Amino acid sequence: MSTKVQQPIQSLAVVGAGQMGIGIAYVAAANSKVPVNVIDNSDKSLEKGIGFVDKLLSKNVSKGKIQEAEAKEIKGRITPYKDLAEGVKNVDMVIEAVPEIPDLKTKIFAQLAEVTQPHTVLGTNTSSIGITKIAAAAKGAESRVIGAHFMNPVPVQKGVEIIQGLQTSPETLARTLEFTERMGKLTSTSQDSPGFLANRVLMPYINEAIIAVETGVGQKEDIDNIMKNGCAMPMGPLQLADFIGLDTCLAIMNVLYHDTSDSKYRPSILLAKMVDAGWLGVKTGKGFYDYEQPGAKL
């Protein structure tokens, strides 16, 4: 049942045209049927993002999921922008989806507080950085800041975490829940605690699997196979780590470790070494498995 709100979100801006940002933009345009401004200071990123939308729409048309006319309507709702202030000035909600760099996010939110309308919800897709900390940078707009952590890949995964900072108002929470439900997502709400819900559970699981490799408890294939074939996981933890990106896994484990000061969240030494080596998983062609050759073993 959808949440009822007095001022529903009718327009969206997404900051960041990477995989997550463009996925959020696509789902909002396709499911919520709202206009979406996609903002990125890189022409290359914008072109790549719009190209992804084109491919996804073509694929859905060829499979008969949508008609050509509907594909054109969805594409027509997405508008690229390079200027942040111009892209966000008249929207009901902004979702920031830039890399997990705290200084970058706080800089963006400081600007969003100055250039958005007083009613605009300011969402962040962060997977680990504290919402309260991000909201503190949005001077005068702290109550409008909320976490909206979409699961990857956004067009496929139904789940989204909605995270309240200390400053987040009940109205901001209600409007965000209502909008993400209209996007076709299944929401889970979380307090602003390190790792939120998904990564608080998932990343220690992945980290422990890496420690099992590091300490010789088992081979990577055996670890992944027993979790898939014995625990009904769709993907083994080491293969999943490669898909997420080992650098991302390490960054989240470091947040958990430093923010809680709990030794159970200490990142695996092997994980840190692999990141140092540039073996980051699928995106670099090598992680726990090799992805450089077509049909590489998973």
pTM reported for the whole predicted model:
0.89
Same domain, 170 and 111: yes
Catalytic residue among 45, 125, 142, 161: 161
199 a catalytic residue: yes
244-283 tens-digit pLDDT: 999 999 989 998 999 999 999 999 999 999 999 999 999 9
Find out whether the peptide bond into 170 is cis, omega within 30 degrees of 0: no
Q: Is 123 annotated as a binding residue?
A: no
Q: Is 19 annotated as a binding residue?
A: yes
Same domain, 54 and 178: yes
Rounded to 5°, the CA angle 241-246-249 comes to: 80
When pLDDT is cut at 50, 70 and 90, the band that residue 3 belongs to is low
Same domain, 20 and 162: yes
Same domain, 159 and 48: yes
Q: Annotate 285-296 with b (16+ C-beta within 10 A) or e (fewer).
A: ebbbbebeeeee
Catalytic residue among 32, 37, 127, 128: 127
Domain limits at 27?
A: 12-191
Q: Is the dihedral of CA 130, 177, 46, 153 positive or negative?
A: positive
119 a catalytic residue: no
Joined tokens for residue 112:
């969003």
In a domain, 65, yes or no: yes
Q: Is 203 annotated as a binding residue?
A: no
Catalytic residue among 32, 37, 125, 199: 199
201-215 tens-digit pLDDT: 999 999 999 999 999
